[in-house]
Structure 1
Amino acid sequence: MRQSYLFTSESVSEGHPDKVADQISDAIVDLFLSKDPEARVACETLTTTNLVVLAGEIRGRGIMDEAGNWAPGIEQEIEQVVRATVKKIGYEQEGFHWEKLRFENNLHPQSAHIAQGVDASGNKDEGAGDQGIMFGFACDETPDLMPATLDYSHKILEKLAADRHSGAAPFLEPDAKSQVTLRFENGKPVAATAIVVSTQHKKGYDEGEHEAELKAYVRDAIASVIPASLLSDETVYHINPTGSFEIGGPDGDSGLTGRKIIVDTYGGAAPHGGGAFSGKDPTKVDRSAAYVARYLAKNIVAAGLATRCTIQLSYAIGVSEPLSLYVDTHGTGTVGDDRLEQAIGKMERLGRLTPRGIRTALGLNQPIYASTAAYGHFGRKAEGGLFPWEKTDLGDELKALVA
Structure 2
Amino acid sequence: MIEKVNPAHPDKIADRIAGAIVDLAYKTDDAPKIAVEVLIGHGYGHVVIETSAPIDKTDVAFIVERLTPGIRVFIQIVPQDVHLAENQAKDIRCGDNSIFKGMPLTEEQKEISKIAREIYSAYPFDGKYILDEARLILCQSHAATSELKQKYPHAEVNPLGDWTGGIDVDSGATNRKLGSDMADSVTGGGLHGKDLSKADVTLNIYAFLKAQETGEPVTICCAIGDNTIDGHPYSELVAIAAEYIKSIGGFEKFAEWGLF
Aligned match of 1:54: 47
Give the alignment of 1:331-342 within 5 angstroms: none
Instruction: Give 1:188-227 correspondences, 5 Å limit.
Output: 193-201=134-142, 214-222=144-152
Amino acid at match of 1:262: G
Does 1:153 find its partner at 2:153? Answer: no
Counterpart of 1:357 in structure 2 is 236
Name the structure 1 match of 2:257: 375
Give percent identity, aligned residues only: 25
Paired residue secondary structure (1:198)? strand
**Counterpart for residue 316 of structure 1:** 223
Contact kept, 8 Å, 2:43 with 2:72, in 1: the verdict is: yes
Residue number in structure 1 paired with 2:157: 239
The partner residue of 1:181 within 132, 142, 145 is 132
| Residue aligning to 1:389 | none
Q: Once the 2 structures are TM-superposed, how far is the Cα of residue 216 of structure 1 from its aligned partner?
A: 2.7
Q: Which amino acid aligns with 2:200?
A: D
Please tell me whether the aligned partners of residues 93 and 224 of structure 2 are also in contact (alpha carbons under 8 angstroms): yes
Consecutive unaligned residues of structure 2, counting only runs of 5 or more, are none
The letter for the 1-side match of 2:217 is: T
Residue in 1 aligned with 2:89? 119
Could you state the TM-score of these two structures normalised by the residue count of structure 2? 0.90
1:15, 1:281 → 2: CA distance? 23
| Deviation of 1:271 (Å) | 4.2
19, 22, 25: which is aligned to 2:15? 22
What letter is aligned with 1:369? F
Structure 1 segment 61-210 matched on structure 2, within 5 A: 63=54, 74-86=56-68, 98=69, 100-120=70-90, 125-138=91-104, 146-164=105-123, 174-182=125-133, 193-201=134-142
Q: Would the alpha carbon gap of residues 287 and 131 (structure 1) be closer, same or farther in structure 2, given more than 3 Å must change? A: same
Deviation at 1:129, TM superposition (A): 0.9
Aligned residues: 257
* 1:73-117 deviation per Cα after TM superposition (whole angstroms, max 9, x unaligned): x2212211222233xxxxxxxxxxx1x211111121111122223
- 1:156–1:271 CA distance, 2 compared to 1 (3 A): closer
Counterparts of 2:126 and 2:170 in 1: how far apart (Å)? 11
**Structure 1 position 134, deviation (Å):** 1.3
Is 2:206–2:240's contact at 8 Å kept on the other side of the alignment? no
Please tell me whether residue 42 in structure 1 is matched to residue 8 in structure 2: no
CA distance in 2, matches of 1:376, 1:222: 24
Q: Do 2:3 and 2:131's aligned partners in 1 also have CA atoms closer than 8 Å? A: yes
Normalised to the residue count of structure 1, the TM-score between the two structures is: 0.60
Letter in 2 for 1:199: Q
Cα distance, 1:362 vs structure 2: 4.5
1:34-87, Cα deviation, whole Å (9 max, x unpaired): 221211110010011122210131112xx15xxxxxxxxx2212211222233x
Distance 1:127 1:358, change over 3 A: same
Query: Alignment partner of 1:45: what SS?
Result: strand
| Deviation string, structure 1 residues 20-43 (Cα, Å, up to 9, x no partner) | 101110011111112212111100
1:251 counterpart SS class: coil
Give, as a single letter, the amino acid of the residue that structure 2 aligns with 1:30: D
Q: Report if the CA contact (8 A) 2:36-2:50 is conserved.
A: yes
Cα offset, 1:154, TM superposition: 2.4
Distance in 2, matches of 1:26 and 1:151, equals 24
User: C-alpha distance in 2, partners of 1:176/1:103?
Assistant: 24
Q: What SS does structure 2 have at the residue aligned with 1:43?
A: strand
Give 1:282 shift.
Answer: 0.7
How far, CA to CA, are the matches of 2:169 and 2:194 in structure 1?
27
Q: How far apart in 2 are the matches of 1:107 and 1:222? A: 46
Query: Deviating runs (4+, > 6 A) in structure 1?
Result: none
Q: Contact conserved, 1:11 with 1:153, CA < 8 A, in 2?
A: yes
Secondary structure (helix, strand or coil) at the match of 2:135 reads: strand
Higher relative contact order (CA 8 A, sep 6+): 2
Residues 116 and 220 of structure 1: CA distance in aligned 2, closer, same or farther (over 3 Å): farther
Which residue identity lines up with residue 265 of structure 1 in the other structure?
M
| Residues 154 and 376 in structure 1, CA contact (< 8 A), matched pair in contact too | no
1:299 aligns with 2:213: yes
